[in-house]
Amino acid sequence: MENTLEIINQRTEWFREARFGMFIHWGLYSILGKGEWIRSHQKLSIEDYQPYFEAFNPTKYNPRDWAKAAKCAGMKYVVLTAKHHDGFCLFDSAFTEYKSTNTPIGRDLVKEFVEAVREEGLKVGLYFSLIDWYHKDFPKFGDLNHPMRDNSAFKDEVIDFDNYLTFMHNQVEEIVTKYGKLDILWFDYSYEEMFGEKWRATELIKMVRKHQPDVIVDNRLETSGEGFGSIVTDHINLYSGDFVSPEQIVPHEGIRNYKGEFIPWELCLTMNNNWAYNPTDTLYKPSKVLIRKLVECVSKNGNMILNVGPDALGVINEESMSILDDFSSWMNKNSESIYGNGYAELPKPEWGYYTQKGNVIYAHVLEQPIGPLALIGLSEDNIKRMSFVHDGSEVKISKSWTTNAYEGICFAQYGEVPHFTYPLPCSVDSVIKIELRGTDDEN
């Protein structure tokens, strides 16, 4: 078994076509409403956290609502936290009692999720934590993150980490065998000396590939959001993953390997500043910003997965739904400039971004031009036709006297008078479709 960029690109073909997905962080921590790291941040013991296990009863959980919201927003895949760092499983694991089927809800919530997402025609992903703060054999005292890291009662505790790894591998095998074909397996995360073969990563990925040969995997068996891993080197490990997962930051030039070749990557991004439900965090990013970040990712050959954190009952809140609705409005008119698009071999324009699919370049105009729009990098002779994507209306090559001094630069004109300034049709992103002449076109 080998791993090369060619193999990775074949496996991620649908992923790079899709470009846009939904992340869902949801679990016991949603009851506390202070984020999924609450046990670590507040150094809560298992006993402190137990009341939330006993109270977990998301009576409004309907994953079809989540899937429909994702689809309506233009997302093509959905990834759910089947198990986060607290060790609680949303699936019916045979290897632990710490699972949703033993809470008041009494159901395998992952099973319902994957069925609902597939019914909407979307790709299915499951997030699985390599870390488990509930398991007795996971390192505690002195660990970077464990809730008991500073509790001296655990200082001399003897653990059997191999036993933990066997347990963790068994649970991964459950989720890759019990729920049909998975499209994404999102591991999280490695840190300090806890990376790669510390997780018995080669053995783990071989087992995953045996059951799910086509599943695509992120790079966090090997690294965290802080690094890229061997996928950018000349020796790609079996457990390198199929895409890099930058978190809360857009790489300034996309992500390339040592040869300068683009590799698959996906920005994982929150709407506010929390992954899991936090009703006191009202710092939501404007829809305009989030839509433009999706465009920026695509212009750099990347994906974006946008997170929602449903509440303790299983409902996505109004603020998040409002953002998804805004995506729906924009994507309904402009999605052809996103799906299957990527980097255009052109200088980045001052007014926005270019994306490209085959013989079509999309100009994402974010900033209001004064007069005609300079299409830097494009030649008038190579342009067959231009139009706005949202309504198909014509955009002309400008022949304004104001542009005569700028020889060799092609200008676009929308509106009747060449040197007038007309408002952009969309304040978020007005997209111009630029169809280039092919080899069969007459010059």
CA atoms within 13 A on the CB side of 397: 16
Query: In terms of Cα–Cα distance, which of 441, 440, 393 is closest to 416?
Result: 393
DSSP 148-206: TTT-GGGTT----HHHHHHHHHHHHHHHHHSSS--SEEEEE--BTTBSGGGGTHHHHHH
The stretches in the chain having pLDDT less than 70 are 439-443
Q: Where are the alpha helices (DSSP H) in 247-364?
A: 287-299, 318-334
pLDDT score recorded for residue 181: 98
Q: Which residues, 6+ apart, have CB-to-CB distance to 50 below 8 Å? A: none
Give 244-252 contacts, CB < 8 A, sequence gap 24+: 244/218, 244/219, 245/186, 245/218, 245/219, 245/220, 250/293, 250/296, 250/297, 250/300, 250/302, 251/300, 251/302
pLDDT score recorded for residue 387: 98
pLDDT score recorded for residue 107: 98
pLDDT score recorded for residue 373: 96
Query: What are phi and psi for residue 194, nearest 5 degrees?
Result: -90, 80
103-121 in b/e burial notation, b at 16+ Cβ within 10 A? bebeebbbbebbebbbebe
pLDDT score recorded for residue 440: 59
Query: In terms of Cα–Cα distance, which of 139, 135, 140, 134 is closest to 152?
Result: 140
Query: In terms of Cα–Cα distance, which of 17, 104, 70 is closest to 313?
Result: 104
pLDDT score recorded for residue 441: 60
pTM of the model: 0.97
Peptide bond into 189 cis (omega under 30): yes
pLDDT score recorded for residue 443: 44
Strands of 396-397's sheet in order across: 373-374, 411-413, 396-397
All structural domains of the chain, each given as residue ranges with its CATH number in brackets, are: 5-337 (3.20.20.80), 352-436 (2.60.40.1180)
Helix (H, G, I), strand (E, B) or coil at 346: coil
